[in-house]
Amino acid sequence: MLRAVTFDFWGTLYGSASARDERLALLGEALAQAGYPRSRAELELAYERTWGVFDRRWLVEHRPLGASLWLKTMLEMLDAQLPEDQQAELVPAIEEVLLSLDIPRPAAGVPEVVPRLARRYRLGLISDVGLTPGRILREILRRDGLLHFFQVLTFSDEFGATKPEPAVFLDTLERLGVKPAEAAHVGDLPETDLQGARAAGMRAILFLGVSRREDGRALADAAFERYEELEELLERMSMGPVREVGLARGKEAR
C-alpha cells in the first residue's frame, strides 16, 4: 500500500524556466564595472561551456551545483576577475532572478491535484537545483500556495548530492516516516528520477506532460501525461504488483 508520494520540481511539478539572458546581463554589467568588459558572444560561449562542466558534475559525479560555482567557472572561462565583495553581491542576484520574473509556473493540474493528494498521502519533494537554489524554490512554492502540502523538501544544494544517488531518496523517506516499498516518486528524467527511485526501492512514475521523455517508459512502473490521471494511477498502483501496474498503465498512455 502506498503511504507517500515524492515529486521532482523541474519538469514535473513545474514547467521549465530560463533566465539565461538576465543572468548574462548581470554578469556582463559587473565585468564592465570591474574593468573586464566582454562581448555578448563571449558571454554566451562561456555560458555554453560552463553548462557542459555542470552537466558532467550533475549527471556523472552526482554533485550539487550552485551560483557561486557557476560564477567562478564563468570567470575562468572568460579569463576575468571580480573583487570578492562584488562576487558576494552578484551571487544572490543570480539566484533570485526567477522571483523578479515571476516564473516558473506550476504544471497544468498541479494546483488542483496536489491538495487532494496531500489528504491521502504524505508528500515530499526531491529536487536537483542549479542556479536557483532550494531557498528560492521554497519561495516559489509558497507564492503559489503549494509549500504547506509537502512535509519534507530535499534540495541537492542542501543535501550535498544529486539524484540518482539512493541516499537522496532514502533520507527523504526516513523523514517522511515510510519505507521505500510504501512510496512512489514522480519525475520526468529517466537518468535521475526513475533510476534513483528504483535504486532506493521505490516505485517510479514517469510524468510526460512537460519533458516527454518517452525513453523513460522502460524504467517506469507507470506513466501519465495529465495530472488528472495521477490519483487513479496511484490507487491502481496500491492494489497490485509494481511492474504489472506499470505495464498496464504504459499501454493505456499510448
For residue 166, the domain's CATH number is 3.40.50.1000
Residues 91, 116 within the same domain:
no
Residues 143, 36 within the same domain:
no
The C-alpha atoms of residue 119 and residue 121 are separated, in whole angstroms, by 6
Residues 11, 130 within the same domain:
yes
Going across the sheet that includes 183-187, the strands are: 152-155, 122-127, 4-7, 183-187, 203-207, 222-224
The answer to whether 201 and 180 are in contact (CB under 8 A) is: yes
Residues 96, 172 within the same domain:
no
Residue 250's pLDDT is 30
Q: Do the bridges between strand 203-207 and strand 222-224 make them parallel or antiparallel, or are there none, so unpaired?
A: parallel
The C-alpha atoms of residue 148 and residue 207 are separated, in whole angstroms, by 22
- Per-state percent for the chain, helix, strand, coil, to nearest 5: 55, 10, 35
**Containing structural domain, residue 209:** 4-16+104-253
Residue 241's pLDDT is 54
Residues 12, 24 within the same domain:
no
Last residue of a domain, one of 101, 118, 150: 101
Last residue of a domain, one of 101, 120, 148: 101
Residues 58, 127 within the same domain:
no
Residues 160, 59 within the same domain:
no
Residue 84's pLDDT is 94
The three grid cell numbers given for residue 246, joined into one nine-digit string: 506499470
- Enumerate residue ranges in the chain where pLDDT < 50: 242-254
Residue 16's pLDDT is 87
The answer to whether 204 and 185 are in contact (CB under 8 A) is: yes
Single pTM value for the model: 0.90
The structural domain count of the chain equals 2
Residues 84, 181 within the same domain:
no
Residue 65's pLDDT is 86
DSSP sequence for 50-66: HHHHHHHHHHTS-----
Q: Which residues contact 201 (CB under 8 A, 6 or more apart)?
A: 179, 180, 181
Last residue of a domain, one of 101, 118, 135: 101
Residues 112, 235 within the same domain:
yes
Residues 110, 94 within the same domain:
no
The C-alpha atoms of residue 251 and residue 175 are separated, in whole angstroms, by 34
What are the tens digits of pLDDT across the range 27-63? 999 999 999 999 999 999 999 999 999 888 998 999 9
Residues 149, 165 within the same domain:
yes
Measured torsion, CA atoms of residues 34, 35, 39, 40, in degrees rounded to the nearest 10? 10
The C-alpha atoms of residue 189 and residue 50 are separated, in whole angstroms, by 21
Residues 75, 166 within the same domain:
no
